[in-house]
Protein backbone atom coordinates (compact mmCIF):
# COMPACT_ATOMS: atom_id res chain seq x y z
CA UNK A 1 0.00 0.00 0.00
CA UNK A 2 1.34 3.42 -0.95
CA UNK A 3 0.92 6.34 1.47
CA UNK A 4 1.19 9.91 0.23
CA UNK A 5 0.84 13.35 1.82
CA UNK A 6 -0.24 16.37 -0.22
CA UNK A 7 -1.22 19.96 0.51
CA UNK A 8 -4.31 20.40 -1.64
CA UNK A 9 -8.05 20.98 -1.74
CA UNK A 10 -9.64 17.55 -1.14
CA UNK A 11 -12.53 18.40 -3.46
CA UNK A 12 -10.09 18.42 -6.40
CA UNK A 13 -8.29 15.12 -5.66
CA UNK A 14 -8.71 12.34 -8.24
CA UNK A 15 -9.09 9.13 -6.24
CA UNK A 16 -11.80 6.49 -6.02
CA UNK A 17 -13.16 7.87 -2.75
CA UNK A 18 -12.64 10.95 -0.60
CA UNK A 19 -13.45 11.02 3.09
CA UNK A 20 -15.60 13.77 4.52
CA UNK A 21 -15.06 14.87 8.12
CA UNK A 22 -18.80 15.09 8.63
CA UNK A 23 -20.95 16.02 11.58
CA UNK A 24 -23.50 13.54 12.93
CA UNK A 25 -26.37 15.15 11.02
CA UNK A 26 -24.68 14.34 7.66
CA UNK A 27 -26.32 17.49 6.28
CA UNK A 28 -23.20 19.59 5.74
CA UNK A 29 -21.47 22.07 7.95
CA UNK A 30 -18.32 24.15 7.94
CA UNK A 31 -14.73 23.33 7.00
CA UNK A 32 -14.10 20.30 4.82
CA UNK A 33 -17.69 19.12 5.31
CA UNK A 34 -19.11 22.32 3.85
CA UNK A 35 -16.55 22.36 1.02
CA UNK A 36 -17.39 18.78 -0.02
CA UNK A 37 -21.14 19.40 0.05
CA UNK A 38 -20.74 22.65 -1.92
CA UNK A 39 -18.42 21.22 -4.58
CA UNK A 40 -20.27 17.90 -4.84
CA UNK A 41 -23.69 19.46 -5.26
CA UNK A 42 -27.17 18.45 -4.19
CA UNK A 43 -26.70 14.74 -5.02
CA UNK A 44 -24.51 14.32 -1.94
CA UNK A 45 -27.00 16.08 0.33
CA UNK A 46 -29.88 13.99 -1.07
CA UNK A 47 -27.91 10.76 -0.53
CA UNK A 48 -27.13 11.83 3.05
CA UNK A 49 -30.82 12.58 3.65
CA UNK A 50 -31.72 9.05 2.46
CA UNK A 51 -29.20 7.60 4.91
CA UNK A 52 -30.61 9.71 7.75
CA UNK A 53 -34.15 8.62 6.91
CA UNK A 54 -33.02 4.99 7.01
CA UNK A 55 -30.73 4.95 10.06
CA UNK A 56 -30.84 8.33 11.77
CA UNK A 57 -27.69 10.28 12.54
CA UNK A 58 -24.18 8.90 12.03
CA UNK A 59 -22.44 8.14 15.32
CA UNK A 60 -18.92 9.29 16.16
CA UNK A 61 -16.33 6.92 14.71
CA UNK A 62 -18.75 5.38 12.21
CA UNK A 63 -18.83 5.87 8.44
CA UNK A 64 -21.36 5.85 5.59
CA UNK A 65 -20.88 6.08 1.83
CA UNK A 66 -22.60 8.19 -0.84
CA UNK A 67 -22.22 9.31 -4.40
CA UNK A 68 -19.57 11.97 -5.06
CA UNK A 69 -21.90 14.12 -7.14
CA UNK A 70 -19.86 16.66 -9.10
CA UNK A 71 -16.53 15.74 -7.46
CA UNK A 72 -13.76 13.96 -9.40
CA UNK A 73 -13.96 11.00 -6.98
CA UNK A 74 -16.41 8.12 -7.49
CA UNK A 75 -17.74 8.09 -3.91
CA UNK A 76 -17.61 10.04 -0.65
CA UNK A 77 -17.29 8.33 2.72
CA UNK A 78 -18.68 10.46 5.54
CA UNK A 79 -17.21 9.81 8.98
CA UNK A 80 -17.86 11.66 12.22
CA UNK A 81 -14.75 12.52 14.18
CA UNK A 82 -14.69 13.08 17.92
CA UNK A 83 -14.71 16.45 19.62
CA UNK A 84 -11.53 16.53 21.71
CA UNK A 85 -12.08 16.83 25.45
CA UNK A 86 -8.60 16.31 26.96
CA UNK A 87 -8.73 12.63 25.96
CA UNK A 88 -11.29 11.82 28.64
CA UNK A 89 -13.97 10.33 26.38
CA UNK A 90 -12.16 7.71 24.30
CA UNK A 91 -11.43 10.31 21.61
CA UNK A 92 -8.27 8.51 20.43
CA UNK A 93 -10.12 5.24 19.82
CA UNK A 94 -13.02 7.03 18.16
CA UNK A 95 -10.65 8.86 15.81
CA UNK A 96 -8.90 5.58 14.98
CA UNK A 97 -12.33 4.10 14.19
CA UNK A 98 -12.99 6.92 11.69
CA UNK A 99 -9.98 5.84 9.65
CA UNK A 100 -10.47 2.12 10.12
CA UNK A 101 -14.18 2.14 9.29
CA UNK A 102 -13.57 4.33 6.24
CA UNK A 103 -10.92 1.92 4.94
CA UNK A 104 -13.19 -1.09 5.43
CA UNK A 105 -16.13 0.66 3.77
CA UNK A 106 -13.94 1.56 0.78
CA UNK A 107 -12.75 -2.05 0.50
CA UNK A 108 -16.35 -3.37 0.73
CA UNK A 109 -17.24 -1.13 -2.21
CA UNK A 110 -14.28 -2.28 -4.33
CA UNK A 111 -12.57 1.11 -4.14
CA UNK A 112 -8.78 1.07 -4.30
CA UNK A 113 -7.63 4.63 -3.63
CA UNK A 114 -8.75 6.89 -0.80
CA UNK A 115 -8.04 10.46 0.33
CA UNK A 116 -8.42 11.50 3.96
CA UNK A 117 -8.63 15.05 5.34
CA UNK A 118 -7.24 15.86 8.79
CA UNK A 119 -10.24 14.58 10.74
CA UNK A 120 -11.22 16.43 13.96
CA UNK A 121 -8.27 18.86 13.92
CA UNK A 122 -10.33 21.96 13.07
CA UNK A 123 -13.30 23.07 15.15
CA UNK A 124 -13.26 19.71 17.01
CA UNK A 125 -9.85 20.75 18.48
CA UNK A 126 -8.08 17.36 18.32
CA UNK A 127 -4.32 17.96 18.84
CA UNK A 128 -2.81 17.89 15.34
CA UNK A 129 0.32 15.88 16.18
CA UNK A 130 -1.66 13.21 18.00
CA UNK A 131 -4.31 13.08 15.26
CA UNK A 132 -1.62 12.54 12.62
CA UNK A 133 -0.06 9.66 14.59
CA UNK A 134 -3.45 7.99 15.05
CA UNK A 135 -4.35 8.42 11.37
CA UNK A 136 -1.08 7.04 10.01
CA UNK A 137 -0.98 4.10 12.43
CA UNK A 138 -4.61 3.18 11.66
CA UNK A 139 -3.81 3.15 7.94
CA UNK A 140 -0.61 1.14 8.46
CA UNK A 141 -2.43 -1.47 10.55
CA UNK A 142 -5.02 -1.98 7.78
CA UNK A 143 -3.14 -2.02 4.45
CA UNK A 144 -6.20 -3.12 2.47
CA UNK A 145 -6.24 -0.51 -0.30
CA UNK A 146 -3.71 0.29 -3.02
CA UNK A 147 -3.13 3.92 -2.07
CA UNK A 148 -3.95 6.26 0.82
CA UNK A 149 -3.52 10.00 0.44
CA UNK A 150 -3.57 12.34 3.42
CA UNK A 151 -4.82 15.66 2.07
CA UNK A 152 -3.79 18.63 4.19
CA UNK A 153 -5.45 21.95 3.48
CA UNK A 154 -2.97 24.04 5.46
CA UNK A 155 0.82 24.06 5.64
CA UNK A 156 0.94 23.25 9.37
CA UNK A 157 -0.89 19.94 8.96
CA UNK A 158 1.06 19.19 5.78
CA UNK A 159 4.40 19.47 7.63
CA UNK A 160 3.13 17.43 10.58
CA UNK A 161 1.83 14.61 8.37
CA UNK A 162 4.91 14.61 6.15
CA UNK A 163 7.23 14.31 9.16
CA UNK A 164 5.08 11.61 10.78
CA UNK A 165 4.89 9.57 7.57
CA UNK A 166 8.68 9.72 7.23
CA UNK A 167 9.11 8.62 10.86
CA UNK A 168 6.32 6.03 11.07
CA UNK A 169 6.45 4.46 7.61
CA UNK A 170 9.80 2.70 7.71
Q: Average per-residue pLDDT in the chain?
A: 95
Task: Indicate if the pLDDT at residue 55 is higher than 80.
Answer: yes
Enclosing domain of residue 107: 2-168
Q: What is the Cα–Cα distance from 31 to 25, expressed in whole angstroms?
A: 15
Q: Which of the 8 DSSP states describes residue 11?
A: G
Q: How far is CA 27 from CA 14, 42, 44, 89, 121, in A?
A: 23, 11, 9, 25, 20
Weakest mean pLDDT among 79-93, 95-109, 131-145: 79-93
Task: Please list the active-site residues.
Answer: 33
Number of domains in the chain: 1
pLDDT digits (tens, 9 = 90+) for 62-101: 999 999 999 999 999 999 999 998 877 799 999 999 999 9
> What is the domain-level CATH number for residue 123?
3.40.220.10
Per-residue pLDDT at 116:
98
Amino acid sequence: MKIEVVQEDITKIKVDVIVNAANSSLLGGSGVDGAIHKAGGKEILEACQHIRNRQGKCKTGEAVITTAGNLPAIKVIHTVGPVYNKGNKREEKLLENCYKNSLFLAKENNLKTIAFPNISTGIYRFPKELAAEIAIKAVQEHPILEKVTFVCFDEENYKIYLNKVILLVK
